[in-house]
Structure formats: C-alpha cells, structure tokens
Amino acid sequence: MPKLLQGIITVIDVFYQYATQHGEYDMLNKAELKELLENEFHQILKNPNDPDTVDIILQSLDHDHNKKVDFMEYLLMIFKLVRAHNKIITLFHKEHGFISSGKKTFKCGL
Amino acid sequence: MPKLLQGIITVIDVFYQYATQHGEYDMLNKAELKELLENEFHQILKNPNDPDTVDIILQSLDHDHNKKVDFMEYLLMIFKLVRAHNKIITLFHKEHGFISSGKKTFKCGL
C-alpha cells in the first residue's frame, strides 16, 4: 500500500484501537485518552503520565463538553499537531537557508 | 517510534518528498501533484492518470488560486479524506450493528 494511504489509515486505526476498549466504540473516554497519550505521545509530551496533563488535553479537545473525545475532535488534534510540526520545519529551513530543488529524500524526523 | 507519530510524520514527509522535486520546496506544482496522485492514490482514484483528474483536484485544493498546493491546502485534502473514510466506517458499523467494547484489534483497512 502507498505510504501516504498507510499513514492516513494509521491515524484512523489508532483512534479506534483506543476508543474501542471501553464503552462507546467511537469515543475516547478519559481513561482511553490517557492511554493513547501515554503510549503514542510520550516522546513529545512533557509529562504524559501526569493526571493534570490528561485533564488539560481533554478539556482543550472536548468542544461539545461531553467529557469524551469523538473522531472529529481527535482529528482536529492531529491537524494542529501536523501544522505545528510543519511550522517548526519551515522555521528551521528559513533559518538555515534551505534550498531543496530536486531533493527527493527530505525527511522531517522528530 | 509510536505508530501514531509515525503516521503523522509520513503525512508530512510525503508532501515534501514531492514538493521538493522542482521549484519551491514547500509547494506542489501541477507536475508534482500529478506524481503524488498517481503514486499515492492510485488505489482510490478512478482515473489517477487522467490529466483532467489532476486539473480538477488542483482546482479544488488551490484555495488561493496560485496554481500550486501549499502545505495547508494539502493538509485540508488529507483531513477531508480521513473524515470521508471515517464516515464510511461509521456507516458500515451502523448498518451491521457493530458493538465493539473491548475490541482492541479494530482495523479500518481499505
């Protein structure tokens, strides 16, 4: 499978991998969100195991205030993360005068 | 690396893999978009090699009408694709009375 489709499917799969653990299959409750953050974002979150971190993130994602994160709320988080990560890449390139015509092996990394 | 971060990075990497081939490193021109569509979406597009397909998609993505697709325009396409794919999954589950509590191995597939 082409890698872009694989990446897209991974983003969807991860949501359901955690959402289907307890209760509604299409919502992340607080415990499921906590597990997702601990397992998937421990490299970028300062304190992924801190209960306050989960509360703060849940509050920021939960636009309809039902104490759960639905797929669209999750997707907005991913969207913001990708945008933020791309801004860092762009800034880095501007600061380092990156010119990349013909450079096919660009990797953003982490 | 956790698979969600890997998925996110793949989405970013694929954009730059094609955007850095010619001209501006942070824009997909028509030729680069054509290559991306042919290589990455041949499984889901009806006619990925049809020149009209590229024109129609470019027109629908190019919000600022500069005949190029920048990262945010690309990201909106990914966002819409993920949302559309998730709608199909949800519909499938509703039609088949899917109840998945505790089901950790959910896969959306294609």
What chain A holds in terms of domains, given with CATH numbers, is 3-104 (1.10.238.10)
A94-104, pLDDT tens digit by residue? 777 654 444 44
- Chain A contact present for B87, CB below 8 A: no
Q: Which residue of A has its CA nearest to B28?
A: A101
The tokens describing B53, both together, are: 């397909």
CB contact under 8 A, A5 and B40: yes
Closest CA relative to residue B34, chosen from B16, B46, B52, B20:
B52
The tokens describing B38, both together, are: 């042919």
A47-77, pLDDT tens digit by residue? 877 888 899 999 999 999 999 999 999 999 9
Q: What is the pTM of this model?
A: 0.80
B2-42, pLDDT tens digit by residue? 999 999 999 999 999 999 998 888 999 999 999 999 999 88
Task: Work out whether strand A69-70 and strand B27-28 pair parallel, antiparallel, or are unpaired.
Answer: unpaired
- Residue B92 has phi, psi (to 5 degrees) of -60, -45
A55 CB-near residues (< 8 Å, 6+ apart)? A30
Enumerate the residues of chain A whose CB falls inside 8 A of the CB of residue B70: none
* Among B86, B89, B99, B101, the residue to mutate for chain A (most A Cβ within 10 A): B86
ipTM of the complex: 0.78
